[in-house]
């Protein structure tokens, strides 16, 4: 069995989720079992409907959205923590029989405390030997960076959002 490695796709640039989707398609196309779970997204961007149709891939669509974390009340934040912790547990359970686990926006979920970084680090330290793991999102902590084998940073040089152009279907979502 090949040893699975840990990837982090981070930074303020476009392409973190796109890179994770690309690796998922590659792995599924090679007959590998993939689990792809999203955090902080509504599960309706363009890649979701394609991922759900791929053989060998289990897509965990977040069944609930909470909006921007900084706008939530304390009660809503607690509800988000409970929801995303359960979502993480489901992904980790399914990953025990998978070849690739993608936790899209896990770095952001850790940074905002909706998933426990210590719990995620414990999972990474004890993951099945052949499991490849991809974590995306901004600002991975030093501990997450230390746990990673790959860190790829997407750097924004120029982006239409800076000129007031919103996300476009089929391009940014």
The CATH code of the domain that includes 111 is 3.40.50.300
CA proximity to 60, closest of 71, 68, 52: 52
E strands, the chain, in order: 6-10, 34-38, 57-60, 100-104, 132-136, 150-153
The answer to the question of residue 136 being in a domain is yes
Burial class of residue 3 in the structure, from the number of CB atoms within 10 Å of its CB (0-12 exposed, 13-18 middle, 19+ buried): exposed
pTM for the model stands at 0.92
Do the domain assignments include residue 170?
no
Task: Judge whether 18 lies within some domain.
Answer: yes
Q: Flag whether 166 is in a domain.
A: no
The domain tally of the chain equals 1
DSSP 8-state secondary structure symbol assigned to residue 167: P
Q: Mean pLDDT per segment of 10 residues, for the chain of length 173 residues?
A: 92 95 97 96 84 95 84 92 97 98 96 95 97 97 98 93 85 80
Residue 112 forms part of a structural domain: yes
List the beta bridge partners of residue 7.
Answer: 134, 150
């Amino acid at each position: 069995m090949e040893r699975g490695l840990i990837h982090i796709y981070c930074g303020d640039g476009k392409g973190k989720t796109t890179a994770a989707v690309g690796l998922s398609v590659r792995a599924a196309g090679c007959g590998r079992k993939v689990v792809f779970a999203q955090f902080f997204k509504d599960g309706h961007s363009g890649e979701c409907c394609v991922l759900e149709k791929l053989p060998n891939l289990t897509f965990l669509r977040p069944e609930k959205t909470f909006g921007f974390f900084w706008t939530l009340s304390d009660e809503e934040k607690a509800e988000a923590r409970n929801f995303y912790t359960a979502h993480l547990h489901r992904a980790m359970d399914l990953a025990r029989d998978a070849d690739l686990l993608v936790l899209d926006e896990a770095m952001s979920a850790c940074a905002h405390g909706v998933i426990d970084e210590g719990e995620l680090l414990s999972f990474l330290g004890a993951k099945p030997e052949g499991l490849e793991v991809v974590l995306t999102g901004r600002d991975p902590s030093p501990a997450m960076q230390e746990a990673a084998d790959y860190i790829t940073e997407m750097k924004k040089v120029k982006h239409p959002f800076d000129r007031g152009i919103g996300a476009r279907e089929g391009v940014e979502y």
